[in-house]
Amino acid sequence: MKSREYQQIDPQALPTPVRTPPHDHPQAGGGDGRKEPRRTPRRKWEVFPGKNRFFCDGRIMMARQSGVFPLTLGLILVTSGLFFIFDCPFLVKHLTGCIPAIGGVLFVFVLVTLLQTSFTDPGILPRATPEEAVDVERQIDDTGNTSYRPPPRTKEVLINQQVIKLKYCFTCKMFRPPRTSHCSLCDNCVERFDHHCPWVGNCVGKRNYRFFYTFIVSLSFLTAFIFGCVTTHLALRAQGGKGLVFALKESPGSAVELAICFFSVWSILGLSGFHTYLVASNLTTNEDIKGSWSGKSGEGVTNPYSHKNIFINCCSVLCAPMPPSLIDRRGLVPAEESAQTSGMDTERPKLNNKSEMNVVGGSLHLVFDVQESCSDFSLLLNQTKTVPLPARSLVACYSPNTVSVCFPVSECCVKVTPLCAVFQLLSKVCIDHAFYWVWLVVFYGVHQAQLLVCLHQAYIMEGNCLSFNKSTEITVFHCSFV
Amino acid sequence: MSDPLFPDGTCTQQHAVKNRYQTEIFNMAETHSLQDMRQQAAVAAKVFVQRDYTSGTMCQFQTKFPSELETKIDKQQFEETIRTLNNLYAEAEKLGSQSFIEGCLACLTAYTVFLCMETHYEKVLKKIAKYIQEQNDKIYAPRGLLLTDPIERGLRVIEITIYEDRSFTR
């Protein structure tokens, strides 16, 4: 493999991939196969790239995997229902009428905060626009880095005299703000990411942490309250030598409640206690688990976000002004960006020999000319094929007659050689000729658009395997992100 | 100039093929990109003012003057705009007694007030939107610039679009 000098591909010289190309016949529109170019504008939640589900026309959102949220809801409803049906009448008669009132208030609190935790946007950061991504890339490259080594993907900032490393998120194409983390289940960067809670079926982040905290605190009160009431109820019934078994037979629902409450009260109380500690020290579960500020990594590492006062910490977490949702779910998608954000469009026959690349959200459409090469390399077929590419691929069209397929190889592929990376790509491309000249511009490396691997030579495709003939050469050089 | 896709200038048979296509490809590439530029004639460039994290996770933007705007606008003016925006965002996120009372009240009602009432943050965001509109109308539009409200970019950046000076192309 020969390695060559690097050249920057100037992004200005490349046609912008996000623009809808001029066409002489109407193209298919968004992912649902509508044909007219003009149609009712769509709301942004319909083209949201993360793994979320939206209800009520974008007003309510959850993670795509609802986890055990139905179980949580079911347990709470069942236990509370049994409490009101079986225990309250007895306790009202023998003790006081406050009991169902308190129980009712707690139940309403728990339910409302649970629904708010599950249905609120946790603080999702919208993904960077392509122009922003180019700009970030340019700022990194301004250091004059033309060496083979990929530029660093962390940025250091000084917060309250602490050095914090900001990581670059490949999916969202931006440097994550401090305390932001990318949730792999929801495929979103979430601000002040605490954890992804399967019990509520959503991430817990900046915007819904207070709901979550109120939920677990009120749930622990409710569970403890029901547990206490049921015990009192059974104790009162078993009075006078009648025995516990008799009491349970008279009120079978109480047995169920007792079991549920007994097993859950400890973990819920524990969780409440843990989160109270987190709130008081202005930490997130994520940071606590990783031990970011515990001083393991060195001396003098303290939490730079803490206000050093328990009361102020609690206020800033629970009583701070409610931040707005940044993803604007119910906004309308602007018409000229609909090509950029619309979903997959898998069978759109391409127009002519000019290769027009559309970056359509997370997956893309690529049309390219493959030139079949025979032994004398003289035959030029100019066939066009439309192939869907793996998600997160980007295309820079270097020239109309070349295939330019650029995709960020995921981190796990970094250790793989360039050839293998190409294999992975090409094996998804259904080309069924024997010999090809394919110009592939493959982005490969830890940073998007760090290296270009260009295949000049023909290769043989047998089934899903690729092998290169002896004269394969690979050119590696640096390129700017487009 | 050596083409990155064809860095090897030697003329083997394979490279002869490459070179044959090269000219054709280059010509088409050139026309292609000229067409693109003409269609994008309005927007010359976009400048992004990134966030400033030195005071933590609060929403603040860097006041560093971008070099692309040197010929377009006065440095003082620009810094004044950014500083005012920073102050407005700080006001939105401020932990004052008013926000404390609002927070406690909200907690007591199981946060259902958020469904009915406009939060303090949203009120300040409206103020910010108005301020940006005003700045655009008075200062930036006459100079061929446009500020985009950061909320439309997820509070990540302030996007400043530089429009090409049409008077030169006439």
Residue A75 and residue A25: Cα distance in Å, rounded?
57
Residue B141 pLDDT more than 50?
Answer: yes
Task: Please list, in sequence order, all residues whose beta carbon lies within 8 angstroms of the beta carbon of residue A81, skipping any fewer than 6 positions away.
Answer: none
Q: What's the pLDDT at A467?
A: 39
> What letters, b where the CB count within 10 A reaches 16 and e where it falls short, cover A350-380?
bbeebbbbbbbbbbbbbbbbbbbbeeebeeb
Cβ–Cβ below 8 Å for B54 and A158: yes
Interface test with A, best of B156, B161, B162 (most A CBs within 10 A): B156
For residue A42, what pLDDT band results from cuts at 50, 70 and 90? confident
Half-sphere CA count of A448, side-chain side, radius 13 A: 26
Q: What's the pLDDT at A336?
A: 53
3-state secondary structure of A339: helix
pTM of the prediction? Answer: 0.66
To the query of whether residue A229 is one of the catalytic residues in this protein, the response is no
Residue A152 and residue A445: Cα distance in Å, rounded?
11
Chain B residues within an 8 Å CB radius of A437: 17
For residue A267, what pLDDT band results from cuts at 50, 70 and 90? very high
Q: What's the pLDDT at B165?
A: 65
Question: A20 with A334: CB under 8 angstroms?
Answer: no
Residue A166 pLDDT more than 90?
Answer: no
Which pLDDT tens digit goes with each residue over A49-78? Answer: 888 888 888 888 888 887 899 999 999 999
Question: A358 with A365: CB under 8 angstroms?
Answer: yes
Determine if residue A19 is left, alpha or beta; phi over 0 gives left, psi from -120 to 50 gives alpha, anything else beta: beta
Residue B72 pLDDT more than 80?
Answer: yes
- The structure tokens listed for B138 are 């008075």
Residue A460 pLDDT more than 80?
Answer: no
Q: Which residue of A has its CA nearest to B43?
A: A131
**Helix A98-119 with A209-237: angle, nearest 10 deg:** 150
Question: A13 with A398: CB under 8 angstroms?
Answer: no
Interface predicted TM-score of the whole assembly (ipTM), two decimals: 0.71
Chain B residues within an 8 Å CB radius of A323: 93, 121
- The structure tokens listed for A408 are 């960020």
List, as own/partner pairs, every contact residues B93-100 make where C-beta atoms lie below 8 angstroms and the sequence separation is at least 24, other chains included: B93/A320, B93/A321, B93/A323, B93/B58, B93/B59, B93/B121, B94/A321, B95/A312, B95/A315, B95/A316, B95/A319, B95/A320, B99/A319, B99/A320, B99/A321, B100/A315, B100/A319
Reported as type and span, the H/E element at residue A197 is: strand A195-197
Residue A346 pLDDT more than 80?
Answer: no
Percent of residues, chain B, with pLDDT higher than 70: 72
Which of B56, B99, B110 is nearest residue A108 as measured by Cβ atoms? B110
Q: Which residue of A has its CA nearest to B152?
A: A326
Average confidence (pLDDT) over A77-91: 89
| Mean pLDDT of the residues in chain B | 75
Cβ–Cβ below 8 Å for B154 and A398: no
Q: Which amino acid is at A198?
A: P
Catalytic residue among A88, A186, A189, A197: A197
Percent of residues, chain B, with pLDDT higher than 90: 19
Which pLDDT tens digit goes with each residue over A104-154? Answer: 999 999 999 999 999 989 999 998 888 888 777 777 665 544 444 444 677
CA distances to A166, A324, B87, B137 from B83, in Å: 24, 21, 6, 18
Q: Which residue of B has its CA nearest to A399?
A: B29
The larger pLDDT score, comparing residue A287 to residue B130, is at B130
Residue A362 and residue A341: Cα distance in Å, rounded?
8
Determine if residue A305 is left, alpha or beta; phi over 0 gives left, psi from -120 to 50 gives alpha, anything else beta: alpha
Residue B85 pLDDT more than 90?
Answer: yes
The larger pLDDT score, comparing residue A402 to residue A323, is at A323
Chain B residues within an 8 Å CB radius of A473: 8
Average confidence (pLDDT) over A30-57: 69
Residue B12 pLDDT more than 60?
Answer: no
Q: What's the pLDDT at A142?
A: 56
Residue A424 and residue B140: Cα distance in Å, rounded?
48
The larger pLDDT score, comparing residue A13 to residue B140, is at B140
Cα A351 to chain centroid distance, Å, stands at 35
